[in-house]
Structure 1
Amino acid sequence: MSALRARAEEYLVMRRALGFKLESWGPRLMSFVRFCEDHGATTVTMDLAVQWATSTARGSDHEAYQARRLDVVRIFARYLQPLDPATEVPPEDVLDRRQWRVPPYLYSPQEVTALMDVARTLRPAFRGLTWRTLIGLLAVTGVRQGEACRMRRGDVDLNAETIVIEDSKFGKSRMVFLHPTAAAALRAYERARDEAFPRPTAGTFLVNSQGRPLDRRNTPKTFAQLVTAAGIKAPAGRRPPRLHDLRHVFTVATLLDWYRDGSDVQARLPVLSTWLGHIDPKSTYWYLSAVPELLALAATRLEPTGQDAKVTS
């Protein structure tokens, strides 16, 4: 084992002990360590860091994404420099950090229904029931797919019609309220699950056809099959629809309802941010500019009414 790898593994152990999950951060750091080893480097340098950050496996040439990769090296280098004075810490302005997000695929209500219908055809039958429930849950609550897969039985209170999302992204927990129809669907799933697996081997609310927790690594493949079977296609030049995009469907639908009802959207956005588990309201504000229909509705709030126009003319 190289000295650099040993330092990286030591650093990850320390960070995890402090409560950091490092689900994507850890693999990225070890990817950088392998890059250094492949180049025969024993010390972190700025040139190596930038070369690794800009040589992405998926070929992304957007600097905002590359800058986030470089952050991994920068934070590690700051830790490493007192131990190895030859370590170079990349400056924060090496790459353009302007935020960029890929527009989500927004499923129509008919497409969500179609996805749930084709999920019913999955075999074994209980697998289809789980997928139908998962798709519906994401669409009507906006929880993340990982949160839904980890959701434990004790987190779901169908009498109170609530779900507690424990220790989610950024270490935050929150409560999600269920519509009575959603609670009814979860009760039906719960009865079917307990009938199929009277002696549970998993503590999660949603289980696979063997009664075990859902494997998040397999969900993209299964969902891609459902998208194809439902006849859903992304516009030319856009990435394929994802399971995660159902979270966007909930968010946009909520905002559209607020605008159409005449609600004070600006005042209610922090509530939606909390509901979604966003650490920064800016993540929620992004939808106002990312979705044309929302942008148009927001713009109408800025336009003066006929009476106001007379006063100001």
Structure 2
Amino acid sequence: MTTIRQHAEEYLAMRRRLGFKLTSFGEKLMSFVSYLEHTGATVLTTEAALTWATSTPRSTDQVHWSRRLMVVRVFARHLKALEPATEIPPDDALPHHYRRITPHLFTPAELAALLQVTGILRPAFRARTWHTLLGLLAVTGLRTSEACGLDRTDVDLTSGLLTVRDTKFGKSRQVPVHTSTTAALRKYARERDRQRPAPSTVAFLVSTRGTRLDAHSLPRTFAQLLEAADITAGEGRRRPRLHDLRHTFATTTLLNWYRNDADVQAKLPLLTTYLGHADPKSTYWYLSGSPELLSLAATRLEHSFGGRP
């Protein structure tokens, strides 16, 4: 007899073969499976799912509960076909909330300040690496993990083309960059090769130890740079994140299109592809990140229906 744990492991393996990362999803699902084993349950029930989803001593956030229950619901739909006794938690078992964190949109002055304060980092090569990383994120909108994942062969300094491999959705894409960006990357590469003439990694961006930058260890240094640049979050908002550089890039691109009266509807698929989104819906979300962008979009919509600004 196949256990729920075996079913869960096979399900996750199948999804991962299809290109899904399932990092937090997998952790939550296996946590639920462990809970069932601890209670001696051999059948997935709605009651067990609800109890597990809301058993979070450190949090009473209903959004968090709802997301935990959603993990169980998705798996239960799969398991039901294999184990008919499985209960699928109904959609209204918990209030369903969807909340995305309001991003911090960096101003040009804040970006300039961030780049300048990288000079406080020691040794000097660490400062150069951070200066290059922040600049690259700001002008390309790459995810932090994508920038850290670039190999030397992925950075074509002749054609000005970055090849981003094994992205969030398991696909690769090519990202063209401006000649000024290529020049900055070439300058960094020369300094890196002087520091590490016998590299121990194929990574393009490297740490002072000569290893690939670890995206998970970057937030602490970034917080230090934010403080040095005197960049703070607005009232009631969380501290700016490295990922907000991606939001800033996307929002700035959309703003420029609207200001220049471009056909945003026609151009949006280009931005979707450039950012590596799975579909344009993810890109459309950036419209809600800036009051100015919302206003421009609303004005454009009003014009399209024959209204007046």
TM-score calculated relative to the size of structure 1:
0.88
2:237 is matched with: 238
2:108 is matched with: 109
Structure 1 stretch displaced more, 18-27 or 217-226: 18-27
Q: In the superposition, relative to structure 1, how do residues 58 and 271 fare at CA in structure 2: closer, same or farther (>3 Å)? A: farther
5+ residue gaps, structure 2, are none
Tell me if 1:12 matches 2:29.
Answer: no
Number of aligned residue pairs: give it. 306
1:153 is matched with: 152
Contact 2:205–2:212 under 8 Å retained in 1: yes
Structure 1 stretch displaced more, 290-299 or 88-97: 88-97
2:171 is matched with: 172
5+ residue gaps, structure 1, are none
1:33 is matched with: 33
Matched position secondary structure for 1:176:
strand
Matched position secondary structure for 2:220:
helix
2:70 is matched with: 71
How many angstroms apart in 2 are the aligned matches of 1:295 and 1:303?
12
Contact 2:141–2:247 under 8 Å retained in 1: yes
How many angstroms apart in 2 are the aligned matches of 1:97 and 1:111?
36
Cα deviation, 1:261-301, whole Å, max 9, x if unaligned, reads: 11111221111111111112111112223310101112232
How many angstroms apart in 2 are the aligned matches of 1:21 and 1:51?
26
2:216 is matched with: 217
Q: Counterparts of 1:1-313 in structure 2 under 5 Å?
A: 3-55=3-55, 59=59, 61-63=61-63, 66-81=65-80, 84-97=83-96, 99-303=98-302
What is the CA distance between 1:49 and its match in structure 2? Answer: 1.7
How many angstroms apart in 1 are the aligned matches of 2:198 and 2:170?
31
What is the CA distance between 1:37 and its match in structure 2? Answer: 4.2
Identity %: 56
Structure 1 stretch displaced more, 222-231 or 245-254: 222-231
How many angstroms apart in 1 are the aligned matches of 2:60 and 2:182?
41
Counterpart code for 1:277:
G
Contact 2:62–2:97 under 8 Å retained in 1: no
How many angstroms apart in 1 are the aligned matches of 2:35 and 2:255?
46
Contact 1:54–1:61 under 8 Å retained in 2: no
What is the CA distance between 1:148 and its match in structure 2? Answer: 0.7
Matched position secondary structure for 1:138:
helix
Q: In the superposition, relative to structure 1, how do residues 235 and 58 fare at CA in structure 2: closer, same or farther (>3 Å)? A: farther
Matched position secondary structure for 2:105:
coil
Structure 1 stretch displaced more, 79-88 or 16-25: 79-88
Matched position secondary structure for 1:218:
helix
How many angstroms apart in 1 are the aligned matches of 2:238 and 2:21?
28
Matched position secondary structure for 1:175:
strand
Contact 2:66–2:97 under 8 Å retained in 1: no
How many angstroms apart in 2 are the aligned matches of 1:14 and 1:62?
30
How many angstroms apart in 2 are the aligned matches of 1:273 and 1:72?
27
Q: In the superposition, relative to structure 1, how do residues 215 and 54 fare at CA in structure 2: closer, same or farther (>3 Å)? A: same
Cα deviation, 1:250-270, whole Å, max 9, x if unaligned, reads: 011111111111111122111
Contact 1:146–1:216 under 8 Å retained in 2: yes
What is the CA distance between 1:184 and its match in structure 2? Answer: 0.8
What is the CA distance between 1:30 and its match in structure 2? Answer: 2.0
Counterpart code for 2:243:
H
How many angstroms apart in 1 are the aligned matches of 2:51 and 2:115?
44
Counterpart code for 2:129:
T
What is the CA distance between 1:61 and its match in structure 2? Answer: 2.5
What is the CA distance between 1:84 and its match in structure 2? Answer: 4.3
Matched position secondary structure for 1:210:
coil
How many angstroms apart in 2 are the aligned matches of 1:162 and 1:215?
23
How many angstroms apart in 2 are the aligned matches of 1:123 and 1:34?
45
Q: In the superposition, relative to structure 1, how do residues 70 and 270 fare at CA in structure 2: closer, same or farther (>3 Å)? A: same
Cα deviation, 1:233-253, whole Å, max 9, x if unaligned, reads: 101211111000000110111
Q: In the superposition, relative to structure 1, how do residues 123 and 13 fare at CA in structure 2: closer, same or farther (>3 Å)? A: same
Q: In the superposition, relative to structure 1, how do residues 37 and 131 fare at CA in structure 2: closer, same or farther (>3 Å)? A: farther
Counterpart code for 2:221:
T
- Root-mean-square deviation (CA, aligned residues, Å) is 2.6
